Amino acid sequence: MVNKKDDTTEQRILAAAKKIFLLKGLDGARMQDIADEAGINKAMLHYYFRSKDKLFETIFEEVATHFLPRITEIFESDKSLFRKIEAFCEVYIDQVKQMPYLPFFVLYEANKQPEILVKKMFGAKKPPVQLFVKQVEEEIKKGIIKPIHPLQLFLNMLSMCIFPFMAKPMFEQAVGISKKQFDAMIDERKKLVPEFIIASIKK
């Protein structure tokens, strides 16, 4: 009989869940798979986490706690637009390298319940995207950058950072590169992506 929850066991369960969710998706993952990966029995797993959804929610909250404040800080800073683009790409790629399950979790939640996702991620505050939008519009008026819809620019930044992680298994298989080679390419993208985006909008 377990009388007290152990932090080490809980972290082992969370690490196992991240791996299984990444391999099988939320719908395909089973609690037994997670228990086996963590090296515990299913009863122990249910003692720590009552359901798969609760486990998923715990992991997602960890993502929101560690990842979103850094992105918000970039958008709310007084950095130049170009520096914000560079910082966003660097931070986003670094964070997803550490949390490769992040894009899958966000997309799952976004398709399932977008309004709840936004609330989980930002609470009562609104996402800081409007600050970015305003800055882009000001830079266009000043003639610093070419006319572009601010949200199109934001989508360019986001998609160019996120797509390689979503396509990783297929890409590695199709072009025949190793994990080490893929990781090296990802590190290079921290510089290449902002350079490409800035060159596309700079006058």
Number of structural domains in the chain: 2
Q: Are both 125 and 28 inside the same structural domain?
A: no
Q: What is the pTM of this model?
A: 0.78
Q: Are both 46 and 69 inside the same structural domain?
A: no
pLDDT at res. 201: 98
Least confident of 8-17, 40-49, 106-115: 106-115
Instruction: Supply the range of the domain harboring residue 6.
Output: 1-50
Q: Are both 139 and 100 inside the same structural domain?
A: yes
Q: Residue 69: count other Cβ atoms within 10 Å of its Cβ.
A: 10
pLDDT at res. 59: 81
Considering the domain boundaries, does residue 57 fall inside one?
no
Considering the domain boundaries, does residue 115 fall inside one?
yes
> pLDDT band for position 2 (50/70/90)?
very low
Summarize the confidence of residues 4-29 as an average pLDDT. Answer: 83
- For the chain, give the percent of residues with pLDDT over 70: 90
Q: What is the mean pLDDT of the chain?
A: 86
